[in-house]
Chain A
Amino acid sequence: DSGVTQTPKHLITATGQRVTLRCSPRSGDLSVYWYQQSLDQGLQFLIQYYNGEERAKGNILERFSAQQFPDLHSELNLSSLELGDSALYFCASSVVAAPPYEQYFGPGTRLTVT
């Protein structure tokens, strides 16, 4: 158990819908990261927040957005869902915002878009 929690564990929804994934970092960690992992593309970095502020942006689509709240939990919002958005979405956290650091990953949310 990494100490990072993600809800829900599984999510099945239809194309065109909107969903929200939630992540609570390890106690004391200020930085939160979101990743998407699909079978053909591996682990793709989406976005990073540090202490409530966006710090880095990766391959995040405009249909996706995220935020980190004052209590440091984070939400990833996915809208106008497409079949290709079906993937495992991981949240990770770390104490500091840049290496050397160890990122701790949550168990992931498996999103299936039908």
Chain B
Amino acid sequence: GQNIDQPTEMTATEGAIVQINCTYQTSGFNGLFWYQQHAGEAPTFLSYNVLDGLEEKGRFSSFLSRSKGYSYLLLKELQMKDSASYLCAFFGANNLFFGTGTRLTVIP
């Protein structure tokens, strides 16, 4: 079957670094996505990993280990506007399968 696990909630301090983990199980895998979603708004694309390793994009980085079924999103220099839900999703069986998301709260 297909499954994704991520922590439900996390809290971090402004200016700090936070790592949001995601583990997945699927029989077919064609990439791992991270999306950011502010409350009541549409998800916006953050990153895509298809090969093992780290992809860096400004303050955000995403890591993938296909053998472990594991990914993380690293957010550096946290800002208050980073308070949002972060959705992990993999592409398998011809569609995107989303986790329920991690709600990140950034505190001063």
Contact = CB atoms under 8 A, between A and B. Distances in A.
A33 B45 CA distance: 15
A13 interface: no
A102 B35 CA distance: 10
B87 A108 contact: no
Contact of B42 (A41, A56, A107): A107
A90 B43 contact: yes
User: Which interface class (under 10, 10 to 19, 20 to 34, 35 or more) fits B?
Assistant: 20 to 34
A102 B43 contact: no
Given A98-B30, A98-B91, A100-B31, A42 B99 contact: yes
A42 B101 contact: yes
Given A98-B30, A100-B50, A42 B45 contact: no
Contacts of A100: 31, 48, 50
Nearest to B91: A99
A64 interface: no
Interface string A22-45: 000000000001000000011111
Contacts of A103: 45, 96
B42 A43 contact: no
Contacts of B44: 2, 105
A86 interface: no
Contacts of A102: 45, 48
Interface in A37-87: 41-45, 48, 55-56, 58
A42 B95 contact: no
B97 interface: yes
Contacts of B31: 99-100
Interface of A: 2, 33, 41-45, 48, 55-56, 58, 90, 98-100, 102-108
22 contacts: A42-B87, A42-B99, A42-B100, A42-B101, A43-B43, A43-B87, A43-B98, A43-B101, A45-B98, A48-B94, A48-B95, A56-B95, A58-B95, A90-B42, A98-B94, A99-B50, A100-B48, A100-B50, A103-B45, A104-B45, A106-B42, A107-B41
Interface of B: 30-31, 41-45, 48, 50, 87, 89, 91, 94-101
